[in-house]
Chains A and B, each alone.
Chain A
Amino acid sequence: MVSAKSKASNKVIFVFLVVFAFAILYPLLFILNNSFKGKFYISKDPFSLPTGETFAGITNYVNGLVKTGLLNAIGWSFFITIVSVVFLVLFTSMTAYYVTRVKSAYSTGLYYMFVFSMVVPFQMVMFTMTSLADRFHLRNPLGMCILYLGFDAGLSVFMFAGFVKSIPLEIEEAAMIDGCTPLQTFFGVVFPILKPTAITVAILDAMHVWNDFLLPYLVIGISTKYKTIPVVVQMLVGSNGNKDMGALMAMLVLSIIPIIIFYLTCQKYIIEGVVAGAVKG
């Protein structure tokens, strides 16, 4: 029994939501639109569509890629994100399993330190961590993955530990009685049950690592070939006073495309994962 009045108000709401959706999409359409304009037309007439004179084809994309080496950066971003996430899911689930199942001063102390690290802002360890990374030769892509394993361990262990607690002990005991070693028990019995949490942890950590700017900027720096996407974008804008706006627009578009593809393909998991992370964290 939907009344005429509520039907009418639903229409108003629908129009409002469409307008809001347009407002959300507009900044992305704005950079997409301008990425096809000649660089001198962008600031003069930023809101119109590119026409014959202002249309620059893919010039901005070519210029930007030559200037920044963004394709390399996309490659390194992928490498660092994937390896870090694999490290995190594998090692922190094992650690979480250990600290939940073994009751000792070592495991309790470890657990509380992980939880504590979640609260500490990055600025607190920024300087000292960079110099430590320097001394132990971690200023390279693989070193970055080790640092991310340590830096995101807090949240990941916390999420896994919360789930391990809810698994009944009997299953593991049965496996042990059947002669499984702890490693076999973990990978054969426990880890498959942890899969939903593993997906959540993977998504949360992947988003953090992929978008992170300061850690790669400080640790890997701007003068190596291992720059990640946010570092390249920052350099393109921050480096010279004479900015190529067209190239900037094109590079912003290229930086966003992988995220949109990732989002549209695993949307359900991403939304669920992010919400689960928010509620538990």
Chain B
Amino acid sequence: MEKTLKRYFLIFTLPTVIAFAFAFLIPFVQGVYLSFCKFTTVSNATWTGLANYKAAFSGGQGFMNALGFTASFTVVSVVTINLLAFTIALLLTRKIKGTNIFRTVFFMPNLIGGIVLGYTWQQMINAVLYKYETTIVANAKFGFWGLVLLMNWQMVGYMMIIYIAGLQNVPTELIEAAKIDGATPWQTLIKVKIPMVMSSITICMFLTLSNSFKLFDQNKALTDGAPMKKTQMLALNIYETFYGRTGYEGVGQAKAVVFFIIVVAIALVQLTFTRSKEVEQ
């Protein structure tokens, strides 16, 4: 059977492979090469070695600032989203009436795109700040917490659904047994429920981590980096380097490679985490 199928490899794989080559393979290889070149278009590249990388990390490029902002935003939103989502998942697994409606409402923001969401929240936050005669772009703190708020609003429902699925898989006998042994609800939570949903926790931690770290649309719409690029995240910084002024395309590409390496490192940590969990179970 395998042999007959093998003869059909053109029909089965060619459309995907061609599209994949255009959208990913060729641009990726070109991108790695161009990060070592000076260029304004793909065809006028001249080799400059590591110059772009040096420039990327030098001051005035805002890359390190963006990295700092991105890192602190990521930490704060990972913690807040997961705490809130887990708490609500616990509340929604108590057989309270209306649970389905709550789930539906809480999950909904996750479907709305980042640009539309970003401007919706910009209008909301500016409406509140209007009373204090200021706007979200006046102070980097507003931008930071606005982004955290937006991210929570968007992702809590999504993470909640994953936690609910995990909590529903905890065997009721275990919880009953803990009760009979005299465990308080708090002890049951810490000693029984949380260890049993560790795999959900890992999934949610890394989903929120990579979504926050790679954030672009929401950042662009909410503050666009203002004031003074202080609320600029990595993805937006790279975008601005490419398209903000000519002559810096190579630096933008070098930054993109660094960004890519960080994202891959996060993914590898996640992989080892998940693997080690699988061994334990």
CB atoms of A17 and B23 under 8 A apart: no
CB atoms of B238 and A20 under 8 A apart: no
Indicate whether B69 reaches chain A with its CB closer than 8 angstroms. Answer: no
Provide the residues of chain B in CB contact with A132, threshold 8 Å. Answer: 22, 26-27, 30, 42
CB distance from A267 to the nearest CB of B (A): 6
State the CA gap A120–B13 with chains docked (Å).
Answer: 22
Provide the residues of chain A in CB contact with B107, threshold 8 Å. Answer: 271
Indicate whether B225 reaches chain A with its CB closer than 8 angstroms. Answer: no
State the CA gap A209–B35 with chains docked (Å).
Answer: 28
State the CA gap A91–B13 with chains docked (Å).
Answer: 7
State the CA gap A126–B208 with chains docked (Å).
Answer: 23
Per the 8 Å Cβ criterion, residues 65-105 of A in contact with B are: 87, 91-92, 94-95, 97-99, 101-104
State the CA gap A99–B9 with chains docked (Å).
Answer: 9
Of the 9-residue stretches A53-61, A142-150, A193-201, which lies at the interface with chain B?
A: A142-150
Indicate whether B183 reaches chain A with its CB closer than 8 angstroms. Answer: no
Indicate whether A138 reaches chain B with its CB closer than 8 angstroms. Answer: yes
Provide the residues of chain A in CB contact with B4, threshold 8 Å. Answer: 176, 181-182
Per the 8 Å Cβ criterion, residues 174-222 of B in contact with A are: 203, 207, 214, 216-217, 220-221
CB atoms of B116 and A279 under 8 A apart: no
CB atoms of B114 and A213 under 8 A apart: yes
State the CA gap A122–B96 with chains docked (Å).
Answer: 42
Provide the residues of chain A in CB contact with B216, threshold 8 Å. Answer: 122-123, 213-214
State the CA gap A92–B26 with chains docked (Å).
Answer: 19
- Report A179-215 CB contacts with B as 1/0, cut-off 8 Å: 0011100100000000000000000000100111110
State the CA gap A180–B226 with chains docked (Å).
Answer: 62
CB atoms of A98 and B119 under 8 A apart: no
Per the 8 Å Cβ criterion, residues 246-281 of A in contact with B are: 248-249, 252, 255-256, 259-260, 262-263, 267, 270-271, 274-275, 278-279
In this complex, how many residues of chain A approach chain B with their Cβ under 8 Å: the count is 100
CB atoms of A271 and B24 under 8 A apart: no
CB atoms of A129 and B263 under 8 A apart: no
State the CA gap A16–B106 with chains docked (Å).
Answer: 13
Provide the residues of chain B in CB contact with A138, threshold 8 Å. Answer: 22
Indicate whether B246 reaches chain A with its CB closer than 8 angstroms. Answer: no
Indicate whether B137 reaches chain A with its CB closer than 8 angstroms. Answer: no
Provide the residues of chain B in CB contact with A107, threshold 8 Å. Answer: 13
Per the 8 Å Cβ criterion, residues 33-51 of B in contact with A are: 34, 41-42
Binding site for A on B (CB under 8 A): 1-2, 4-6, 8-9, 11-13, 15-28, 30-31, 34, 41-42, 88, 91-92, 94, 96-98, 101-116, 119-121, 123-124, 126-127, 130, 153, 157-158, 161-162, 165, 203, 207, 214, 216-217, 220-221, 235, 238-239, 242, 249, 252-253, 255-257, 259-260, 263-264, 267
14 more A-B residue pairs beyond the given contacts A123-B256, A126-B238, A126-B242, with a C-beta to C-beta distance below 8 A: A21-B102, A27-B124, A31-B120, A94-B11, A101-B2, A120-B24, A123-B235, A123-B260, A127-B256, A132-B26, A176-B1, A214-B217, A248-B119, A271-B107
